[in-house]
Amino acid sequence: MNARTDSPGQDPDPAAAPVPPDAPPAPLSEVSAPATPIPSAAAGADLAEAGAPDQQQFVDWLRAVAPYIHTFRGKTFVIAFSGELVKAGVLNALVNDVALLHAMGMHVVLVFGSRPQVEEQLALRNVQSQYADGVRITDNAALECAKEAAGELRLDIEAAFSQGLPNTPMAGAQLSVISGNFITARPVGIVNGVDYQHTGLVRKVDDESMRMSLSHGKVVLLSPLGFSPTGQAFNLSMEDVASATASALKADKLIYITEVPGVPDAVGKLMKEMSLRTAMERLQNNHLPPDVAYYLEHLVKALRNGVPRAHLIPFDLDGSVLLELFLHDGVGTMVSDTDLESLREATLDDVGGILQLIAPLEADGTLVPRGRHLIERDIDKFSVIEHDNVLFGCAALYEFPRENMGEMACLTVSAEAQGTGDGERLLKRIERRARTLGLERLFVLTTRTEHWFLKRGFVHASVDDLPEDKRKLYNWQRKSMVLMKKL
């Protein structure tokens, strides 16, 4: 945890303030990160010989993950992965991670793609692939290839879930996989004069049967094939099946694991998260690579049909599902039906979160200790940043109306949110509150973050410049610097 001022709080520079060496990681958000690296399976196995510091690191991390396990238990995740993932040889790693999610009590529906496998089957038959507007034209030969590819992949996936060797992540898993005719399809038909033949779209999802299977602890496995009421088979896209299934189930998350690392911004930098509104704007701007736009269209479709969160993450990063779910910033792009981050005034329900944010800084002497009763008493003075129901920052405003001055105290930003601008947003929030109250100057007391405030318009002042009541309480042993800003 970082970011700090002094009494009765601290004010840290989210980007610059040092992290106390003994500070435990902050609680994670759906996607929140401990300050220390996540131990690998091999590292966990060696902890018994690693010594107390490594053991404590593991314990701290596991405790920090616990809120996510509680939050995700009983939730439904639709996880779709491309055929490229299987071709890259990382199927077993994904199955291990899905088994872990299942063990935590999450309901998982897996949807697999088979594009490269169909291409291989066509090549073996010396059949040329046919596409129109980026969509495969599935003739009779291509349909047979799609069936064969889907059948082989299904067997490979079921075999991977059947593993149970000792000393592997699948030891004791005993997972049952259910697949079947859950998807009713219809033909794409003739579009702009092009007959797509056996290429189809999802018409209906048997969500009731899927829910029953999930409630009995099964993993539901869906292929990119669907069937019409007349008994015809249709070649579907993995993206369409996953989006329609997540919508029908009202899943808590839709996750695409693909060759695409996420959605880039205007300068090519990965966007860690965006609202549904922003995602729709990006699609309308038509400046995205075609493959990214295709995935984003299906994410948006699912969100508009009631799925609250959707993710686009890369398969070439080991453990990307776990990293996306349990790290603050994740590793791909998350699209939410609402803006995840909320900057608001604190309530009594936030007392526990604030205490957790500032506890390490009180322990190392950065902050003057204050008990729960003081936070509860002054809760109306606090503003907080909440990300996915977890507090990642706080700050308080104490008024001195006689001198038309205010003190910003306890500006704290958790370690995993450093450099994201949360400290800046909290500062602006406190400044707005101070102006609303008619205050003319804002001051802070700090021992470690002088330059962060100087860069934001504060100037050096002396103890004599403080309000009279604050001067009487000034701690000469701490010798905190006084910084002041005109509003």
* Phi, psi for 340 (deg, rounded to 5): -65, -40
25 — pLDDT class (breaks 50, 70, 90): very low
Residue environment code for 128-167, b if the CB has 16+ CB neighbours within 10 A, otherwise e:
eebeeeeebbbbeebbbbbbbbbeebbeebbebbebeeee
pLDDT > 70 fraction of the chain, expressed in percent and rounded: 88
Rounded mean pLDDT of 65-90? 92
Q: 142 versus 173: which is more confidently predicted?
A: 142
Is a pLDDT exceeding 70 seen at residue 19? no
Tell me what pLDDT residue 341 has.
Answer: 60
User: Is 119 within 8 Å of 349 (Cβ atoms)?
Assistant: no
Tell me what pLDDT residue 10 has.
Answer: 38
Global confidence as pTM: 0.67
Is a pLDDT exceeding 60 seen at residue 11? no
Tell me what pLDDT residue 129 has.
Answer: 92
Please write down the HEC assignment for all residues of the chain. Answer: CECCCCCCCCCCCCCCCCCCCCCCCCCCCCCCCCCCCCCCHHHHHCHHHHCHHHHHHHHHHHHHHHHHHHHHCCCEEEEEECHHHHHCCCHHHHHHHHHHHHHCCCEEEEEECCHHHHHHHHHHCCCCCCEECCEECECHHHHHHHHHHHHHHHHHHHHHHCCCCCCCCCCCCCCCEECCCCEEEEECCEECCEECECEEEEEEECHHHHHHHHHCCCEEEECCEEECCCCCEEECCHHHHHHHHHHHHCCCEEEEEECCCCCECCCCCECCEEEHHHHHHHHHHCCCCHHHHHHHHHHHHHHHCCCCEEEEEECCCCCHHHHHHHCCCCCCEEEECCCCEEEEECCHHHHHHHHHHHHHHHHCCCCCCCCHHHHHHCHHHEEEEEECCEEEEEEEEEEEHHHCEEEEEEEEECHHHCCCCHHHHHHHHHHHHHHHCCCCEEEEEECCCHHHHHCCCCEEECHHHCCHHHHHHCCCCCCCEEEEEEC
Is a pLDDT exceeding 90 seen at residue 218? yes
The least confident of 26-30, 39-43, 170-174 is 26-30
51 — pLDDT class (breaks 50, 70, 90): low
Is a pLDDT exceeding 60 seen at residue 12? no
Task: Report pLDDT digits (tens) over 93-111.
Answer: 999 999 999 999 999 999 9
User: Is 433 within 8 Å of 408 (Cβ atoms)?
Assistant: no
Rounded mean pLDDT of 129-135? 91
Which residue is listed with tokens 């609250």?
A: 308
* Overall CATH class of domain 342-486: alpha beta
Task: Report pLDDT digits (tens) over 362-392.
Answer: 887 777 788 899 999 999 999 999 877 788 8
The least confident of 20-29, 160-169, 203-212, 238-247 is 20-29
Residues listed for the chain: 487
Q: What is the sign, positive or negative, of the torsion defined by CA atoms of 431, 436, 442, 446?
A: negative
Is a pLDDT exceeding 80 seen at residue 447? yes
Tell me what pLDDT residue 368 has.
Answer: 78
d(CA 326, CA 310): 15
Rounded mean pLDDT of 400-407? 96
Tell me what pLDDT residue 50 has.
Answer: 52
Instruction: Show me where the domains of the chain are located.
Output: 73-326, 342-486
Q: How high is the mean pLDDT of the chain?
A: 86
Task: Report pLDDT digits (tens) over 325-339.
Answer: 987 678 999 998 876
Tell me what pLDDT residue 420 has.
Answer: 72
Is a pLDDT exceeding 70 seen at residue 28? no
Tell me what pLDDT residue 298 has.
Answer: 96
CATH (one of 3.40.47.10, 3.40.1160.10, 1.10.260.40, 3.20.20.70) for 73-326: 3.40.1160.10
CA nearest to 95, candidates 105, 108, 104, 84: 108
